Amino acid sequence: MFSLVGKTAVVTGGGSGIGQAISKVFAKAGAKVEVFEMDEAAAKSTVAEIEADGGRANWRKCDVSSEADVRASIDAVVESNGGLNILVNNAGIASIGDAISTTEEEFDRVYSVNVKGVRNMLHVGVPKLIASGGGSVLNMASTVSLMGIDDRFAYSMSKGAVLTMTYSVARDYLNDGVRCNCICPARIHTPFVDGYLDKNYPDNREEMFEKLSAAQPIGRMGKPVEVAYAALFLCSDEASFITGNAYPVDGGTINVR
């Protein structure tokens, strides 16, 4: 079950955190994984770990906010692998601030990666999926796509857009063999969380870590691999009847409060 043997998967932001976990799980399931990443060292580390475990992977430097960059990278993937079967739009950046404190520059920065970046990947990638006989798109949304939290104005905007783009793609390409879903994680323990705590709470880091963990009803943060296994299911043939859905991987954050 959940085999991806014979499939080519692109994972944006696959060098660390959730993207790295998805890349490794997909490779373990048999996919050839193409990591799109701006951080060369992180990308090479992910590819090395996959290959050391017997998997197949490659990485390409790609700025998802540039349509030209995306087109060149996806064209190279298709040329190298003969097609594209899975597209995971995971790359994204965070932002802290409300409607008053968020500057125009900050808003545009978040939009360029989290919204335009997903748009670019869909615009270029979906035709390749169709040409390959269909496939699966998985977008990384967030619990903030579905609920409000403090001081995440621009980030929430961007993830709300990811959710509605998911619905649109699922509807528009239903008859082309393309499924499109998104995952809505709550707080996941990634390097970003550690960096955020180190920067903002150096004197009471452990206390804040516990506070952030307790915000999930289950009492802890999620692990990147827990999101990756949900991604594996949604991109596998076992999920062939599932499209246009948002899957919370959230420790009960949305519905168990």
257 pLDDT above the threshold of 80: no
Residues 95, 48: Cα–Cα separation, whole Å: 31
Nearest to 154 by CA among 92, 227, 61, 209: 92
Model pLDDT, residue 192: 83
pLDDT interval class at 218 (50, 70, 90): very high
Percentage of the chain beyond pLDDT 70 is 100
Model pLDDT, residue 10: 99
Q: What are phi and psi of 195, to 5 degrees?
A: -65, -40
pLDDT (mean) for 141-159: 97
pLDDT (mean) for 179-207: 93
Residues 187, 128: Cα–Cα separation, whole Å: 33
**What are the residues facing 8 on neighbouring strands?**
32
Domains of the chain by residue range: 8-186+223-248, 189-221
Q: Which residues are catalytic?
A: 155
Residues 3, 230: Cα–Cα separation, whole Å: 14
157 pLDDT above the threshold of 80: yes
pLDDT interval class at 199 (50, 70, 90): confident
Q: Is the dihedral of CA 243, 244, 249, 253 positive or negative?
A: negative
Model pLDDT, residue 110: 98
Model pLDDT, residue 200: 83
pLDDT (tens digit, 9 = 90+) per residue, 56-94? Answer: 999 999 999 999 999 999 999 999 999 999 999 999 999
Residues 40, 38: Cα–Cα separation, whole Å: 6
Residues 14, 24: Cα–Cα separation, whole Å: 9
**What are the residues facing 60 on neighbouring strands?**
36
Residues 221, 224: Cα–Cα separation, whole Å: 10
CA angle 53/64/249 to nearest 5° reads 60
Mean pLDDT for the chain?
Answer: 97
In three-state secondary structure terms, 209 is helix
Model pLDDT, residue 135: 98
Quote the tokens at residue 160.
């709300």
If one counts every other C-beta atom within 10 angstroms of the C-beta of residue 237, the result is 11
CATH architecture of 8-186+223-248: 3-Layer(aba) Sandwich (3.40)
Backbone conformation region of residue 133, classed left if phi is above 0, alpha if psi is from -120 to 50, else beta: left
Furthest CA-CA distance within the chain? 55
pLDDT (mean) for 4-19: 98
Model pLDDT, residue 196: 82
pLDDT interval class at 221 (50, 70, 90): very high
pLDDT interval class at 128 (50, 70, 90): very high
Model pLDDT, residue 26: 99
Model pLDDT, residue 17: 96
**What are the residues facing 37 on neighbouring strands?**
61
